[in-house]
Structure 1
Amino acid sequence: MRTVDVISEKLTEAFAPHSLKVEDESHRHEGHAGHRPGGQTHFRVYIVSDAFKGKSRIERHRMVNALLAGELADGVHALAIHAAAPGEGGM
């Protein structure tokens, strides 16, 4: 299974998001640290979930990073997170 699919599945199961978009941006990082042939190293996540209500930006990032700790330890070099609660602007 592709890493982008694993990330999407885990986020969906854990946070029941209203919206979720996971982008593999590995192609944009060729020649940079952490890039490997075949990609699957650099990702950007846009997620809107009730689970983030009342949480700070840091708390939200910690929640996502904790959930994806295995992927981060096993080849994901970079993960940009845009996490919001429903009704918050920007997503």
Structure 2
Amino acid sequence: MQVTPVMRKKLEDGLAPSRLDIIDESHRHAGHAGHNPQGESHFRLEIVSEAFVGKSRVERHRMVNALLAEELAGRVHALALTTLTRDEEARRL
């Protein structure tokens, strides 16, 4: 089973993001520790959600990691996270 759709559903259900980008970067880690030849082991996630309002970066990352705990205990080796509120995203544009 593919991991990406499972992660997408969990993040959408748990954070109701206005933007959710899941980028599989596994190919960039071929030959490195934690690389799975089947892919879907290294991801970059960009999440914009009002669930992050008033939360520190560490708290936001913990929220994401908690939602994806099962995947992180299995096939997913690494996540690079960008976690923003809508206001923070607007200031970046």
Q: Output the TM-score relative to the length of structure 2.
A: 0.92
Correspondence for 1:5: 5
Q: Show structure 2 runs of 5+ residues with no match.
A: none
Structure 1: gaps of 5 or more residues:
none
2:79 aligned with 1:66, yes or no? no
1:1-91 equivalence runs, <5 A? 1-88=1-88, 89-90=91-92
Instruction: Output the CA distance in 2 between the equivalents of 1:64 and 1:90.
Output: 21
Ranges of 4+ aligned residues in structure 1 off by more than 6 Å: none
Aligned residue for 1:75, secondary structure, equals: coil
1:32-83 CA distance string (max 9 Å, x none): 0100111110011000001000100000000000110000001110011110
CA-CA distance at 1:4 after TM superposition = 1.1
Tell me the matched-pair count: 91
Decide which structure has greater helix share: 2
User: Deviation at 1:21?
Assistant: 0.3
TM-score normalised by the chain length of structure 1: 0.94
